[in-house]
Amino acid sequence: MAIKSSEPIISDTPRAWLALFLLCLPTAVLALDMSALYLALAHIAASFDTTSVQELWILDIYPLMIAGFLMPMGGLSDRWGNRRLLLIGATAFIILSAIASMAPTASALIIVRAALGIAGATLMPSTLGLMRKLFENPQKRRIAISIWTSAFMGGFAIGPIVGGALIEYFWWGAIFLMAVPVMLPLLIAGPMIFPKGPEAESQKEYDWLSSILFLITIIPLVHGLKTLMNAETKLNAVISVLWGLVTGAIFVKRQLKANNPLLDFKLILSNSALATALAILLLGPAIVGGLTLFLPQYLQLSHGYSAVNAGVSIAPASIALIIGALVSPFLSEKLRSCGAVIGMGFLVMSIGLVTIVLGVQQSPVWVLVGLTMVYFGCGPFDSLGTDIVVSSAPEGKSASAGAAVETATDLGLGIGIALFGTLGTVVYQRILSGRLIGGPIESSVVERALNSFSVVMAEASTLGGSQGEFLQEQASEAFAVGLATVAGSTVILALFLSALSFKFLRKTA
**Rounded to the nearest 10 degrees, how much is the dihedral formed by the CA atoms of 161, 165, 167, 173?**
-80
**pLDDT the model gives residue 250:** 92
DSSP, residue by residue, 219-264: HHHHHHHHHTT-GGGHHHHHHHHHHHHHHHHHHHHHHHH-SS-SS-
**pLDDT the model gives residue 356:** 93
d(CA 271, CA 266): 9
Burial 81-117 (b: 16+ CB within 10 A, else e): bbbbbbbbbbebbbebbebbbebeebeebbbbbebbb
Specify whether the CB–CB gap between 475 and 432 falls below 8 A: yes
Comparing C-alpha atoms, which of 215, 346, 206 is closest to residue 287?
Answer: 346
DSSP, residue by residue, 45-73: HHHHT--HHHHHHHHHHHHHHHHHHHHHH
Sign of the Cα pseudo-torsion (172, 174, 177, 182, in order): negative
Q: What is the pTM of this model?
A: 0.78
From the number of C-beta atoms within 10 Å of its C-beta (0-12, 13-18, 19+), residue 463 rates as middle
Q: Is 215 helix (H, G, I), strand (E, B) or coil?
A: helix
Rounded to 5 degrees, what are φ and ψ at 103?
-60, 130
**pLDDT the model gives residue 92:** 92
d(CA 123, CA 74): 9
Q: Which residues contact 175 (CB under 8 A, 6 or more apart)?
A: 33, 36, 37, 40, 101, 163, 166, 167
Sign of the Cα pseudo-torsion (476, 482, 486, 491, in order): positive
**pLDDT the model gives residue 358:** 92
- The count of other CB atoms within 10 Å of the CB of residue 307 is 19
Specify whether the CB–CB gap between 386 and 407 falls below 8 A: no
d(CA 210, CA 214): 6
Amino acid, res. 358: L
Per-10-residue mean pLDDT for the chain, 509 residues long?
Answer: 44 78 83 70 74 70 80 80 86 91 87 89 83 80 83 73 73 82 85 69 63 83 72 76 90 84 78 86 85 75 71 80 87 85 93 92 88 90 84 72 78 76 80 72 68 66 72 79 89 93 76
Greatest CA separation for the chain: 77
Sign of the Cα pseudo-torsion (261, 264, 270, 271, in order): positive
From the number of C-beta atoms within 10 Å of its C-beta (0-12, 13-18, 19+), residue 161 rates as middle
d(CA 412, CA 287): 8
**pLDDT the model gives residue 205:** 66
**pLDDT the model gives residue 5:** 40
Rounded to 5 degrees, what are φ and ψ at 204?
-90, 160
d(CA 146, CA 380): 9
